[in-house]
């Protein structure tokens, strides 16, 4: 019986991760990583019309940065949703602009307006998702209690809002 010599398994390649830099543009991307924030902002700028044109790039960077800051992302998920909202909004406006160019045919105009409507719906869905993420499980329950006796009726409404901080009842 011949024994095959088994080759030793390959050694894993060493990976070096750069030391995290101080917080940079945290109000743009949420976390304390400047690498994440710069990447998010760079991708967002590239997704906006004119973002790759050297003559327009500076104004696009300024506009996108201010838009992202206005949405005030608190974490990476909020930063991604905010960025997608900005890009979808820009897409909607660009499609509407193209639809109303004088040289557009009726068919092209209709298609551009349909695409703009899709982008607007996307913005609405993203806004709702961002709002839901920010609420993080808060629920509002409305309890209506009606008591009817022979000569009187009592109607009581109570709204209960429950979140991570406990219950808050209002009558």
pLDDT digit of tens for each residue in the chain (171 aa)? 556 667 777 766 665 555 555 566 777 887 767 788 888 888 999 998 888 888 888 888 889 989 999 998 988 899 999 999 999 999 999 999 999 999 999 999 999 999 999 999 999 999 999 999 999 866 666 767 667 777 776 666 665 555 554 444 444
At 166, phi and psi to the nearest 5? 115, -165
Say if residues 82 and 134 touch (Cβ distance below 8 Å): no
pLDDT of residue 170: 44
Say if residues 9 and 24 touch (Cβ distance below 8 Å): no
What tokens were used for 160?
A: 């209960």
pLDDT of residue 51: 81
What tokens were used for 122?
A: 């996307």
pTM of the model: 0.66
pLDDT of residue 121: 97
């Amino acid at each position: 019986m011949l024994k095959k010599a088994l080759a030793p398994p390959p050694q894993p390649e060493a990976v070096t991760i750069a030391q995290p830099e101080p917080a940079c543009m945290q109000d743009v991307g949420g976390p304390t990583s400047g690498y994440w924030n710069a990447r998010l902002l760079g991708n967002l700028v590239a997704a906006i019309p004119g973002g790759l044109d050297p003559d327009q790039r500076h104004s696009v960077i300024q506009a996108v940065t201010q838009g992202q800051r206005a949405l005030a992302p608190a974490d990476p998920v909020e930063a991604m949703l905010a960025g997608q909202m900005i890009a979808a909004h820009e897409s909607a406006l660009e499609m509407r602009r193209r639809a109303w160019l004088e040289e557009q045919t009726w068919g092209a105009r209709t298609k551009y307006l349909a695409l703009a409507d899709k982008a607007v719906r996307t913005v609405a869905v993203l806004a709702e998702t961002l709002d839901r993420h920010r609420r993080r499980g808060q629920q509002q329950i409305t309890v209506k209690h009606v008591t009817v006796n022979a000569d009187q009726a009592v109607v009581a409404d109570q709204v209960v809002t429950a979140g991570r901080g406990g219950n808050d009842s209002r009558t």
